[in-house]
Structure formats: structure tokens, C-alpha cells
């Protein structure tokens, strides 16, 4: 939603969505790290790894939240402050950490294939974070970035849901999987069309 508001609102209004993006991303990374360590069931072996990852990601998220609050506080005075370019490295490191946690979980639970699938799936958001880093230094155009971001996020959600449902002990019916695939495909098509209309 924040990515959509980023491209659909006017230049001044979009700042309200842009300032929140990295804080929300940090919260999502914390939750993903906890999920990676505790899937398919909590284990004492992975507790210290999960705690270390959570501490790192929490510090990053608090920094982003504090920076966002400060940016909001000076916005009424007409001052716009952009994030330092080097800060775009941390989301990429966060996704790399999440992938490493899923690899660690797959090593602990080698009989359950879902953890290794999750590790492969989160290469997509890692790619998007790297693409954002390239965009920071003007390496790609905005339309290419936004289309990659929209489709990449939707494919990540779809593949994550599919791997999770397949990893559950109880079987998921084919109709549920098919409806999820159709819904995600429609959302991806609509997002690409909206991006092209806006850009």
C-alpha cells in the first residue's frame, strides 16, 4: 500500500507514505526473522541465532522509526530531508540475514523442504533491495524500478503462501491453491497496469 501511495499521490502528499516505508520494512524483517527461526516449530538450538538477528533488526527499525518521526516533525515547516544513501544497504542486509536464518532452519529440519523453499523465495526481496540500492545511485529508471517492485512483492507473497501451505502437516486442497494463484496473478496484472498509467 505504501509503495502504491508513493507513486499515486502528489509530490507533497507522497512524503507521508515514503517516510513510513523503511520502518514498516524493518518490522516485517523482525517478524520474518522470528518466523524463520521458529518454523516449523520452536527450537532451543536456534534461539540465540533468532535473538541476535532480532536485536540487530530491532536496532535498525528503531533508527528508521526515529528518523521518520524527526522527518515528520520538520515537514510542516517545509523542510524535506532524504535518507542518507548508505542506509539503503541495511534492508539488503536484513533480507540476506532472513535468507541465512531460513538456510539455518533448513539445516536443522532437513526433512522439511519448506524452509529451503523459503530461503530461495526470499532471494526475490533481496533482489528488490539491491535494485533499490542501484536506484539510489541512479543506475535504473523509475518505471523499471516500480514494475520490478510491484511484481516482485506480489510473487514473493504468492510463493511464500504456497510454500507455507505445502509445508503444513495437513493437506491443502487444490482449489485453495488455485484460487490463491489466480488472485495473485490478477493482483500482479492490475499493479503493472496501474504503474504504467501512473508513470
Q: Confidence band (pLDDT; 50, 70, 90) for 112? A: confident
Q: Is residue 87 a contact partner of residue 19, using CB atoms and an 8 Å limit?
A: no
pLDDT average, residue stretch 125-138: 85
Q: Which of 25, 1, 18, 16 has its CA nearest to residue 128?
A: 25
Q: Which of 95, 115, 120 has its CA nearest to residue 105?
A: 115
What's the pTM?
0.76
Q: Kindly report, residue by residue over 9-19, the tens digit of the pLDDT.
A: 777 777 788 88
Q: Where are the alpha helices (DSSP H) in 9-141?
A: 14-38, 47-74, 89-108, 114-121, 123-136
Delimit the domains of the chain by residue range. Answer: 2-198
Q: Kindly report, residue by residue over 44-91, the tens digit of the pLDDT.
A: 655 777 788 889 999 999 999 999 999 889 888 888 888 887 888 899
Amino acid at each position: 500500500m505504501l509503495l502504491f501511495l508513493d507513486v499515486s499521490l502528489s509530490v507533497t502528499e507522497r512524503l507521508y507514505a515514503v517516510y513510513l516505508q523503511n520502518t514498516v520494512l524493518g518490522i516485517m524483517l523482525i517478524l520474518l526473522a522470528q518466523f524463520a527461526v521458529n518454523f516449523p516449530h520452536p527450537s532451543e538450538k536456534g534461539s540465540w541465532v533468532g535473538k541476535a538477528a532480532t536485536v540487530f533488526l530491532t536496532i535498525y527499525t528503531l533508527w528508521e522509526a526515529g528518523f521518520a518521526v524527526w522527518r515528520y516533525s520538520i515537514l510542516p515547516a517545509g523542510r524535506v530531508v532524504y535518507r542518507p544513501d548508505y542506509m539503503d544497504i541495511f534492508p539488503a542486509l536484513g533480507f540476506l540475514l532472513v535468507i541465512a536464518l531460513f538456510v539455518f532452519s533448513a539445516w536443522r529440519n532437513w526433512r522439511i523442504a519448506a524452509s529451503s523453499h523459503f530461503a530461495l523465495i526470499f532471494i526475490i526481496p533481496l533482489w528488490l533491495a539491491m535494485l533499490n540500492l542501484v536506484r539510489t545511485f541512479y543506475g535504473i529508471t523509475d518505471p523499471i524500478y516500480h514494475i520490478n517492485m510491484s511484481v516482485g512483492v506480489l510473487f514473493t507473497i504468492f510463493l511464500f503462501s504456497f510454500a507455507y501451505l505445502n509445508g503444513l502437516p495437513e493437506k491443502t486442497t487444490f482449489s485453495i491453491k488455485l484460487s490463491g494463484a489466480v488472485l495473485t496473478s490478477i493482483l500482479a496484472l492490475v499493479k503493472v497496469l496501474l504503474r504504467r498509467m501512473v508513470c
